[in-house]
Amino acid sequence: MSVVFSADLEDKNQEIGEIFTPRFDLCGLMTSVVTDACSGDLLMLAYMNAESIRLTLETGIAYFWSRSRKSLWKKGETSGNVFYIEEILIDCDQDALWLKVHVSGKKVACHTGARSCFYRRMTMDNDVIILK
């Protein structure tokens, strides 16, 4: 007979259960991976607190927590590039979210004007890491 510790049981419930038992970090945030629902491309990483998760699920529009401004952030409120939610998935240990979205407006996710925040490739050149 195998002994199951309560911590293991808790982990198991978190992994297979239908109950939302989020593991926020010490700042009350969870990392959110945002991909384009059509192309599948990774658009950006952002952070959500309990309020932004609830607002996002209720409205179908992505809300985040801005760590720099320390405030709730409706993505696209000023730029017009709103993220409309296609689907939200949560990971095994409930500390990360995957948002599949449709971007409105100019379909730009990054503040630099790029469609995605990930626009540079990393390579090694003579032991030096180069971005291109």
Which residues of this chain interact with its own copies, rule CB under 8 A?
A: 15-20, 31, 33, 35, 39-42, 44-45, 53-54, 57-58, 87-93, 96-98, 110-112, 114, 117-124, 128-132
- As measured in angstroms, the least distance from the Cβ of 107 to its own copies is 16
Q: In 3D, which of 77, 115, 84 has the Cα closest to residue 99?
A: 84
Question: Could you tell me the two tokens for 16?
Answer: 């297979």
Q: Which is nearer to its own copies, 13 or 80 (CB)?
A: 13
Q: In 3D, which of 88, 79, 49 has the Cα closest to residue 66?
A: 49
Gap between the Cα atoms of 132 and 129, Å rounded: 10
Name residue, tokens 């952070």: 47
Q: Which is nearer to its own copies, 69 or 121 (CB)?
A: 121
- As measured in angstroms, the least distance from the Cβ of 82 to its own copies is 19
- As measured in angstroms, the least distance from the Cβ of 124 to its own copies is 5
- As measured in angstroms, the least distance from the Cβ of 26 to its own copies is 11
Q: With beta carbons less than 8 A apart as the criterion, state whether 45 and 59 touch.
A: no
Q: Which is nearer to its own copies, 72 or 98 (CB)?
A: 98
Name residue, tokens 């630099």: 112
Q: Which is nearer to its own copies, 1 or 58 (CB)?
A: 58
Task: Give SS3 for 58.
Answer: helix
